[in-house]
């Protein structure tokens, strides 16, 4: 099977390599998009600081290994925990005080929190790129025939699916999950029913940030150059992924992530002259989905409550 | 309480935005501002100190500050360095340059690492008639048609020829692939000059078997590389920013591409070797200066001062260029006997055989320095001298 495409004869082998690359990138997007969509699903708030919390997690893990000399697994766990705390702190400082304010105020506050984290990172960590430690059991390559795949490519989807199962269980089967769902429907009523709204929202942010941290560490392992502004593009891409999947839907976020990741790789692979426009591709996709299916692929069909 | 909290938060956020715009410059030497306005000579510096090119900007800052410490005065007046961060961004670079000429009223400007950033400032220095001294911006368009822009480095037509000669003669390559940072004027220009000369050398119009593009800030290059692998070139020329290039070469090796990679002067930053790790071993690139080959007596002075200030570190070529950019302005002020922009500009146009740390500078008709190029490779994680090529 051979056909001429993208300036090269596309063989099955070449196509499979591209597909592997796409799945690898897509699963990473999916992982980060889950956190985005979860916070939105519960709070109806687009947490623009998500990408920056993701960046902080990568730095925490970096300092754990490089500066404090911890073994990678200890460092990663500490980084994930710290990021959870950071997420709750951001919520307590930037969102809780204006809980009663119109949604637009909270949105602006989220953008402010994002800038604050970015600039703090530039001041504290410096503007020069740092090299994320390479952990061979994640970063080694596996060769199948002539196709080279990084071990991470298998691990990220596994981690994503595992987290998805835990999250589904958390949201649908536990008491905290029930509280989260109640809060997502109506703050006031939930409060009357005895749900501690502040604690539930704080918990939601904590979980969302943990997910960002796992995504960030995987990202750092795959793309080992880390910068204070590294969260911006993944943040936007994963927001797009969440919208494509139907913002608020966790499975939708996973689907959206894969569509975006595989789509980007195949665009560059088949239309190399357009490869400078790969970011534009994501934005065009966002516009199209908003025009023709604003609720996304898995979006809720109910209209906004009045 | 809540009000107070949100108010403080708003203030903090507003301040954080400010720090973004006015990155406190790494203070030149911590001295307080001179008493009277007329007694200091203000020289502006605009470099990428944050963002994707930050490492390059900081390396040049090391050189500029070192020269400032060695030559803190001219015509009996103190020289003040006004440093602004152009954030590795074309729009910010124009703003930074405008701030230097309009608010700070500097008499001359040094910078920048990155041709796109220098070009963004081009119109501003021309309209303000403030002479600017480029450090390592090698794209011909930086100075072309802009009589106020000079530079202490060679330009890409020469660098492209040097690297294509190396690919053809040194590596015996007959087929080359190009991966370029398409949003970077430096990379696109250099790739073009490489292509032109490589086609001439091989006598084969189809000797460039693949051209792949990526954007500044991209991190995933697997799609481009997978296509290039299928073309099986003898050499891959990949001009672009150091972070992206290091990730690119790393991913190429991961995909099982064993083809040699060659590139340009941007590779020479510690981050390139660090991020690339084992993957960038043996990568060959052209640059401006090698510590193994001091050229002038100023080179020795620079090397001694650098080693005294940064023990255990080797200066990068661009650090020497930063040093030269400052020094050539000081010499021009000295020669002009006045420190206004017009006199400096005139003196610069007349500059001949300036003895700099990175070689002797005489300007051609487009205000570019004519000097030799150095070829370096990475051996055991260190930049190692290979060859020197005369213009």
Q: Which of residues 102-141 of A touch B (CB under 8 A)?
A: 109, 112-113, 115-116, 118-120, 122-123, 126-129, 131, 134, 141
Query: Domain end: B265, B287, B309, which one?
Result: B287
What domain count does chain B have?
Answer: 2
So what's the pLDDT on residue B228?
A: 92
pLDDT in tens, B98-117: 999 999 999 999 989 989 99
CA of B327, closest CA in chain A: separation in Å? 26
So what's the pLDDT on residue B191?
A: 95
CA of B244, closest CA in chain A: separation in Å? 9
Q: Is the dihedral of CA B216, B220, B224, B229 positive or negative?
A: positive
Inform me whether the pLDDT recorded for A43 exceeds 90: no
The CATH number of the domain where B251 resides is what? 3.40.50.2300
Identify the closest residue of chain A to B2 by CA–CA distance.
Answer: A97
In a domain, B278, yes or no: yes
> Any CB–CB contact under 8 A between A21 and chain B?
yes
Q: Kindly write down the DSSP assignment for every residue of B255-308, as one continuous string.
A: TT--S-EEE-GGG-SHHHHHHHGGGGTT-EEEES--TTS--SHHHHHHHHHHHH
Using CB atoms, which residue from A116, A225, A229 is nearest to B16?
A116
So what's the pLDDT on residue A306?
A: 39
> Any CB–CB contact under 8 A between A244 and chain B?
no
Q: H or E element: which one contains A14?
A: helix A12-43
B226 and B254 share one domain: yes
B108 and B186 share one domain: no
What DSSP state is assigned to residue B216?
T
Identify all chain B residues contacting A127, using CB atoms and an 8 Å cutoff. Answer: 49-51, 54, 58
B175 and B262 share one domain: yes
In a domain, B27, yes or no: no
Identify all chain A residues contacting B233, using CB atoms and an 8 Å cutoff. Answer: none
B162 and B150 share one domain: no
Mark yes or no for CB contact A8/B210 under 8 Å. yes
Identify all chain B residues contacting A268, using CB atoms and an 8 Å cutoff. Answer: 223-224
Identify all chain B residues contacting A54, using CB atoms and an 8 Å cutoff. Answer: none
Q: How many CB pairs under 8 A join A and B?
A: 137
So what's the pLDDT on residue B216?
A: 86
Identify all chain B residues contacting A11, using CB atoms and an 8 Å cutoff. Answer: 230
- The residue whose two tokens read 């001091």 is B294
B217 and B239 share one domain: yes
In a domain, B304, yes or no: yes
In a domain, B142, yes or no: yes
- Regions of chain B short of the pLDDT cut 50: 18-36
Of A39-48, A157-166, A286-295, B282-291, minimum mean pLDDT range: A39-48
- Spatial contact of A288 and A256, defined as CB atoms under 8 Å apart: no
The ipTM value here is 0.85
Mark yes or no for CB contact A11/B230 under 8 Å. yes
In a domain, B387, yes or no: no
So what's the pLDDT on residue A3?
A: 54
The answer to whether the predicted template modeling score (pTM) of the entire model surpasses 0.90 is no
- Burial level of A163, CB count in 10 A (0-12/13-18/19+)? buried
B279 and B311 share one domain: no
Tell me if the domain spanning A2-292 has CATH number 2.40.10: no
Instruction: Sketch the domain layout of chain A as residue ranges.
Output: 2-292
Mark yes or no for CB contact A131/B16 under 8 Å. no
Q: Residue B196's domain spans which residues?
A: 156-287
pLDDT in tens, B216-229: 889 999 999 999 99
B162 and B262 share one domain: yes
Mark yes or no for CB contact B223/A9 under 8 Å. no
In a domain, B384, yes or no: no
CA-CA distance, B303 to B295, in Å (whole number)?
11
B217 and B276 share one domain: yes
Using CB atoms, which residue from A6, A25, A113 is nearest to B227?
A6
In a domain, B2, yes or no: no
Query: Domain end: B238, B268, B287, which one?
Result: B287
In a domain, B179, yes or no: yes
């Amino acid at each position: 099977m051979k056909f001429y495409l993208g300036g090269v004869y596309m063989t099955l082998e070449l196509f499979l390599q591209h597909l592997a690359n796409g799945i690898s990138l897509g699963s990473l997007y999916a992982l980060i998009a889950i956190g985005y969509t979860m916070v939105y699903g519960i709070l109806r708030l687009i947490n623009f600081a998500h990408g920056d919390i993701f960046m902080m997690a990568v730095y925490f893990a970096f300092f754990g290994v490089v500066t404090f000399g911890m073994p990678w697994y200890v460092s990663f766990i500490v980084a994930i925990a710290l990021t959870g705390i950071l997420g709750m702190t951001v919520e307590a400082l930037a969102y809780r005080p204006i809980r009663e304010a119109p949604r637009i105020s909270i949105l602006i506050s989220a953008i402010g929190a994002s800038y604050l984290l970015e600039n703090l990172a530039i001041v504290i960590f410096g503007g020069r790129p740092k090299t994320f430690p390479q952990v061979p059991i994640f970063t080694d390559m596996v060769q199948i025939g002539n196709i080279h795949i990084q071990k991470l490519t298998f691990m990220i989807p596994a981690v994503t699916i595992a987290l998805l199962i835990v999250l589904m269980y958390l949201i649908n089967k536990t008491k905290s999950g029930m509280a989260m769902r109640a809060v997502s429907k109506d703050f006031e009523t939930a409060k009357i029913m005895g749900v501690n709204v502040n604690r539930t929202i704080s918990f939601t942010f904590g979980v969302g940030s943990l997910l960002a941290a796992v995504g960030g560490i995987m990202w750092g392992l795959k793309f080992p150059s880390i910068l204070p502004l590294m969260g911006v593009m993944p943040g936007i891409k994963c927001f797009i992924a969440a919208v494509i999947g139907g913002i608020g839907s966790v499975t939708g976020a996973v689907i959206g992530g894969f569509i975006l990741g595989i789509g980007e790789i195949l665009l560059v692979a088949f239309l190399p002259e357009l490869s400078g426009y790969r970011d534009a591709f994501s934005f065009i996709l966002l516009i199209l989905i908003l025009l023709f299916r604003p609720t996304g692929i898995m979006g809720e069909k109910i209209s906004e409550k009045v | 309480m809540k009000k107070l909290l949100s108010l403080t938060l708003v203030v903090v956020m507003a301040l954080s935005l400010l720090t973004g715009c006015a990155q406190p410059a790494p203070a030149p030497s911590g001295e307080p501002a001179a008493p009277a306005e007329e007694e200091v000579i203000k020289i502006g510096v605009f470099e990428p100190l944050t963002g994707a090119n930050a490492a390059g900007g900081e390396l040049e800052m090391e050189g500029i500050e070192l020269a400032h410490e060695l030559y803190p005065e001219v015509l009996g007046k103190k020289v003040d360095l006004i440093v602004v961060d152009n954030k590795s961004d074309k729009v910010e670079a124009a703003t930074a340059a405008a701030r230097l000429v309009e608010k700070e009223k500097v008499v001359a400007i040094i910078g920048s690492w990155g041709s796109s950033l220098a070009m963004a400032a081009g119109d501003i220095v021309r309209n303000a008639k403030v002479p600017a001294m480029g450090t390592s911006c090698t794209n011909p368009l930086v100075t072309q048609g802009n009589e106020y822009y000079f530079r202490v480095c060679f330009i890409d037509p020469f660098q492209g020829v040097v690297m294509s000669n190396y690919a053809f003669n040194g590596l015996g390559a007959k087929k080359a692939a190009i991966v370029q940072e398409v949003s970077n004027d430096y990379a696109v220009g250099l790739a073009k000059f490489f292509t032109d000369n490589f086609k001439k050398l091989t006598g084969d119009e189809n000797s460039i078997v693949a051209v792949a593009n990526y954007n500044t800030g991209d991190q995933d290059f697997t799609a481009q590389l997978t296509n290039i692998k299928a073309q099986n070139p003898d050499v891959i020329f990949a001009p672009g920013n150091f972070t992206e290039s290091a990730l690119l070469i790393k991913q190429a090796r991961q995909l099982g591409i064993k083809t040699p990679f060659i590139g340009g002067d941007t590779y020479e930053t510690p981050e390139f070797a660090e991020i690339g790790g084992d993957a960038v071993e043996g990568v060959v690139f052209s640059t401006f200066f090698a510590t193994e080959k001091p050229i002038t007596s100023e080179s020795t002075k620079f090397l001694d001062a650098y080693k005294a200030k940064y023990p255990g570190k080797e200066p990068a070529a661009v650090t020497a260029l930063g040093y030269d950019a400052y020094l050539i302005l000081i010499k021009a002020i000295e020669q002009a006997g006045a420190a206004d922009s017009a006199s400096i500009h005139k003196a610069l146009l007349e500059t001949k055989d300036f003895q700099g740390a990175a070689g002797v500078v005489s300007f051609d008709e487009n205000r570019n320095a004519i000097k030799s190029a150095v070829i370096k490779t990475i051996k055991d994680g260190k930049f190692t001298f290979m060859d020197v090529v005369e213009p």
